[in-house]
Structure 1
Amino acid sequence: MSERTENAPSAPSAPSARGRPRDAGRDRALLEATLAVLYEKGYGGLTTAAVAKRAGVSTATLYRRWRSKEDLVIGTAAQWARDLGPGEDTGTLEGDLAALLRDKAETLDGPGGRLLHVLIGESAHNRTLARVLDTAVVQPVRDRAADVVRRAVARGDIAPLDDAHVLADLVVGAMVSRVFLTPGPPAPPAGADGPAGAAAPADTARTGAAMTTELLPFLLRALGARSG
């Protein structure tokens, strides 16, 4: 019974219309625990029992909310997408782009980045999670980037584009490549100067601020921004 519950794909379960209202704090604890277990063990190593234990609840409590680990990951992705929020209109293309890049960099550095890393690897052979990756993770970025482009066109900052979503492809592709595919700094060799067990130096080229600084002028040129 537990094996079927862990592995069988199913649609996200709807909240029950009867009984006590769901505890939003407990829901959030379960979603955060899901991210933590995904980060440590990957999708293949994630179990509902491990998530429930990490969240400090019973598996029965988890199953009242989500029927399987796939449902749980889908719910986590949906919550993360809601947390993204809309972009602000700064009044300039450069300001809007800087805000978009900054927000995406912060997301990749946090729980959303851990979730994205897992979904990218798993979606190659799980069509349900591939749809989640597109709907809950990629599309919100595409929609926000398209808004940036439309505002810039309306202000006369750039000429109209055939596809306003092309900006998102540039942003997502560049940032995912930098964060997930570019090797980080090597660990310090044994006996190197510094305290024993010291962490490797921070890779400043991979920080959100560095990525924003590097990508912003490139994106402005790519979009054909008109100088003032």
Structure 2
Amino acid sequence: MTEQAARRGRPRDAARDRALLDATLAVLSESGYGGLTTAAVAARAGVSTATLYRRWPSKEALVVAAAAAYAQELTAPADTGTLEGDLRALLRDKAASMTGKEGGVLRSLIAEAAHNTPLAEVLTNTFVAPVRRRMEEIAQRAVDRGEISPVEHADLLGDLVIGPMMSKFFLTPLLPDEVDTASATETADHLLPFLLRAVGGKGPA
């Protein structure tokens, strides 16, 4: 077997893939999509641009892969045993994902997605759809426990989480001390009574 054939048959280095995806998210957070270059990502990851392009053929493909990987690492759904507890966990989770470094990444991706269809599809599938599914599951568990009556159009409940969070953290000018973890948690808790009422639940205990 020739050396070239051996290289083609060698499995990809998962650690190197991870380093490149992490570097992509770091550069996105610092420079936005427009300021991201494959050279900057490769340098941050400590590899050559040739190594990067063997994995992803373009900047767009790299960013799409990084966005998908990032979304998979967000906090896993929690079953707290109560409607109030489930909604609080979801709201705090989403508030945390829209602030700090995570918020910077999402802001960059959303801005680019307005005129980038593949990236918009990734955002819908990996950020929006999971929230909608999670809200449907939360509502169904609450129905099964007898906490609320069946909710009509439960598939729309996720937008009651996404919309206020986007308005607060992405569309409203905020001071630096208004986007830390504590303030994100406070915002989530302020939204909780409204979301509870929307699904027919009682106010927070």
Please indicate the TM-score interval, normalised by the length of the shorter structure: 0.7 to 0.9
Cα RMSD for the two superposed structures: 2.2
- Residue equivalent to 1:212: 188
Amino acid at match of 1:75: A
1:135 to 1:111, Cα distance in 2 relative to 1, 3 A: farther
Shift of 1:170: 0.9
3-state SS of paired residue (1:225): coil
Q: Does the CA-based 8 Å contact 2:20-2:42 persist in structure 1?
A: yes
- Residue equivalent to 1:75: 65
Q: Does the CA-based 8 Å contact 2:83-2:142 persist in structure 1?
A: yes
- Residue equivalent to 1:221: 197
State the distance in 2 between where 1:115 and 1:143 align. Answer: 23
Q: Does the CA-based 8 Å contact 1:30-1:55 persist in structure 2?
A: yes
Q: Does the CA-based 8 Å contact 1:48-1:69 persist in structure 2?
A: yes
- The alignment-based identity, stated in percent, is 59
Moved more, 79-88 or 146-155: 79-88
Shift of 1:204: 7.0
Shift of 1:24: 2.3
Task: Name the structure with the higher helix share.
Answer: 2
Q: Does the CA-based 8 Å contact 1:37-1:46 persist in structure 2?
A: yes
Q: Deviations over 1:57-88 (max 9, x none)?
A: 11111112111111111101111122135412
Q: Which of structures 1 and 2 has the larger relative contact order (alpha carbons within 8 angstroms, sep 6+)?
A: 2
Amino acid at match of 1:73: V
Count of residues paired in the alignment: 197
TM-score (norm 1): 0.78
Q: Deviations over 1:9-47 (max 9, x none)?
A: xxxxxxxxx533322222222112111222222212211
**Which consecutive unaligned segments of at least 5 residues does structure 2 have?**
1-7
Q: 1:17-166 counterparts in 2 under 5 A? A: 19-84=9-74, 86-166=76-156
Q: Does the CA-based 8 Å contact 2:91-2:189 persist in structure 1?
A: no
**Which consecutive unaligned segments of at least 5 residues does structure 1 have?**
1-17, 186-199
Amino acid at match of 2:47: V
State the distance in 2 between where 1:46 and 1:180 align. Answer: 20
- Residue equivalent to 1:176: 166
State the distance in 2 between where 1:225 and 1:216 align. Answer: 11
